[in-house]
C-alpha cells in the first residue's frame, strides 16, 4: 500500500495520471456522439487509420511532435473516411465491409511503415512502437501539456455545439432541413474523433483506442435517459478508466497501458449492464418478477371474489 502512495507522490506520475484522465474524459464525450450516430466502428477505423499517418509524419519530420502527428493522423483519417465513403457510394459493398477493408489496409500499411522506421536506425524512433498498445509511462511532461490543451479544446467544442450535435445525432434529415451544414458537421465530428485518437496514441495506442471511445459511452447509456447526463457520465467513466489503467500500468509491472485501460472500461461496462436502474439486467428481472406477482395476486383476488359471489347466491 505504501508503495502505491509513494508512486502517487511522484509529480511525474501525477502528471501522467492527469493526462490519461483528461484523455478518458474527452474520448468518452466525443465517443457518446459517435455511438449515438451509430459510428462505433468508424472510431475503430479512424484510430487504426491514424497509424500510417503518424508514421509518415514521423518519417518526414524526424521528430515526435504531437502537433505533427495530429496533422498526419487527420490526413490519414480524412483519406480513410473518403475511402469508406467512396466504396459505399460507388460499389455495391455495404458500409461494414467497406470499413473492414479500409481499416485493415491502413493498419497494415501502418505496421509496414512502423517496422521500416524501427530498422532505419533513427535514434529518435525509440518509443514509436509503443503507439500500438500505449505506454503511459513513456509520456513526458510536455506531451501531457499538449494532451491537456487538446482535450480541453475537444470538450469545449462539444459543450459549445451540444445542441447542434444532439440534433445531428438524433435526426440529421431535420438538421439539414433547418439549414445546419450537415456535411461539414459530419466532418467536424470525424475530426474530433481523430483528435481524441491522436491524444490517446501515446497512452492507449491505436489498436485499442476505439474501446475508450465507445465503451464508456455505451456504459453511460445504461444509467440515464438524458443526453447531457449521458455525455458527462461517459466522460467520467472514460476518465476513471484512464486513471485506473494508467495507475496499474505505472505501478512498476510494465504492463502496456492500453489493454489495462480497456479492461477497466469493460469492467465498468459489465457493472452497468448488470446493475443499472431500469435498463440493467437485474432491474429488468426484478421488474418482471414484481409484475408477475402482482398479476397473480389480482387473479387470485378475482377468483376469491367470484367464489364469494357464488356462496352468497
Partner 1 sequence: MHASPLTIRDLSVAYQKKPVLQGVTFTVPEGKLIGIVGPNGAGKSTLIKAALGLIPRLSGDVSIYGKPYAAQRKLVGYVPQRESVDWDFPTNALDVVTMGRYGHLGWFKRPGSAERKIAMECLAKVGMEAYADRQISQLSGGQQQRIFLARALAQDAKLYFMDEPFVGVDAATEKAIVTLLNELKKQGKTVLVVHHDLATVKEYFDWVMLLNVNLIEFGPTEMTFTADNLQRTYGGRLTMLDRDTSSTLIMNGR
Q: Minimum CB separation from partner 1 for residue 25, in Å?
A: 19
Separation of alpha carbons 295 and 94, rounded Å: 47
| Count of residues engaged in binding partner 1, rule: CB under 8 A | 24
Q: Which of 4, 82, 86, 170 binds partner 1 (CB under 8 A)?
A: 170
Annotate 152-168 with b (16+ C-beta within 10 A) or e (fewer).
eebbebbeebeeebbbb
List binders of partner 1 among 25-44 (CB under 8 A).
36, 38
Q: Which of 199, 183, 191, 235 is nearest to 31 (CA)?
A: 235
3-state secondary structure of 226: coil
Smaller CB separation from partner 1, 226 or 296: 226
Q: Is 18 in the site for partner 1 (CB under 8 A)?
A: no
Q: Is 176 in the site for partner 1 (CB under 8 A)?
A: yes
Half-sphere exposure of 32 (CA within 13 A, CB side): 31
Smaller CB separation from partner 1, 133 or 223: 223
Binding mask 258-287 for partner 1 (x = CB under 8 A): ------------------------------
Binding mask 193-232 for partner 1 (x = CB under 8 A): ----------------------------x--xxxx--x--
Which triple of cell numbers denotes residue 194? 481523430
Smaller CB separation from partner 1, 169 or 215: 169
Q: Is 92 in the site for partner 1 (CB under 8 A)?
A: no
Smaller CB separation from partner 1, 15 or 223: 223
Residue with cell 467513466: 237
Asked if 20 and 136 touch (Cβ cutoff 8 Å), the reply is yes
DSSP, residue by residue, 121-154 = T-GGGTTGGGGTT--GGG--HHHHHHHHHHHHHH
Beta carbons within 10 angstroms of residue 220's beta carbon: 27
Give the footprint of partner 1 on this chain (CB under 8 A): 36, 38, 160-164, 166-167, 169-171, 173-174, 176-179, 221, 224-227, 230
Amino acid at each position: 500500500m505504501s508503495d502505491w502512495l509513494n508512486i502517487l507522490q511522484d509529480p511525474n506520475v501525477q502528471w501522467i495520471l492527469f493526462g490519461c484522465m483528461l484523455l478518458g474524459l474527452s474520448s468518452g464525450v466525443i465517443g457518446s456522439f459517435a455511438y449515438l450516430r451509430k459510428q462505433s466502428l468508424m472510431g475503430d477505423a479512424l484510430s487504426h487509420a491514424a497509424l500510417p499517418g503518424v508514421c509518415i509524419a514521423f518519417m518526414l519530420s524526424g521528430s515526435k511532435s504531437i502537433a505533427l502527428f495530429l496533422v498526419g493522423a487527420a490526413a490519414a483519417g480524412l483519406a480513410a473516411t473518403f475511402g469508406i465513403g467512396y466504396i459505399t457510394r460507388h460499389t455495391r459493398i455495404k458500409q461494414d465491409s467497406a470499413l473492414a477493408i479500409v481499416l485493415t489496409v491502413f493498419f497494415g500499411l501502418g505496421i509496414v511503415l512502423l517496422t521500416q522506421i524501427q530498422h532505419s536506425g533513427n535514434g529518435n524512433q525509440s518509443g514509436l512502437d509503443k503507439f500500438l498498445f500505449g505506454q503511459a509511462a513513456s509520456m513526458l511532461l510536455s506531451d501531457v501539456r499538449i494532451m491537456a490543451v487538446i482535450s480541453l479544446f475537444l470538450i469545449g467544442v462539444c459543450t459549445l455545439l451540444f445542441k447542434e450535435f444532439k440534433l445531428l445525432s438524433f435526426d440529421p434529415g431535420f438538421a439539414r432541413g433547418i439549414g445546419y451544414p450537415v456535411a461539414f458537421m459530419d466532418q467536424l465530428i470525424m475530426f474530433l474523433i481523430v483528435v481524441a485518437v491522436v491524444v490517446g496514441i501515446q497512452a492507449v495506442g491505436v489498436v485499442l483506442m476505439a474501446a475508450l471511445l465507445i465503451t464508456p459511452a455505451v456504459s453511460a447509456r445504461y444509467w440515464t435517459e438524458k443526453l447531457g447526463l449521458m455525455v458527462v457520465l461517459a466522460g467520467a467513466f472514460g476518465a476513471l478508466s484512464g486513471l485506473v489503467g494508467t495507475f496499474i500500468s505505472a505501478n512498476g509491472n510494465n504492463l502496456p497501458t492500453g489493454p489495462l485501460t480497456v479492461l477497466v472500461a469493460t469492467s465498468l461496462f459489465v457493472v452497468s449492464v448488470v446493475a443499472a436502474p431500469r435498463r440493467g439486467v437485474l432491474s429488468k428481472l426484478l421488474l418482471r418478477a414484481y409484475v408477475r406477482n402482482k398479476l397473480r395476486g389480482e387473479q387470485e383476488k378475482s377468483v376469491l371474489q367470484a367464489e364469494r359471489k357464488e356462496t352468497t347466491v
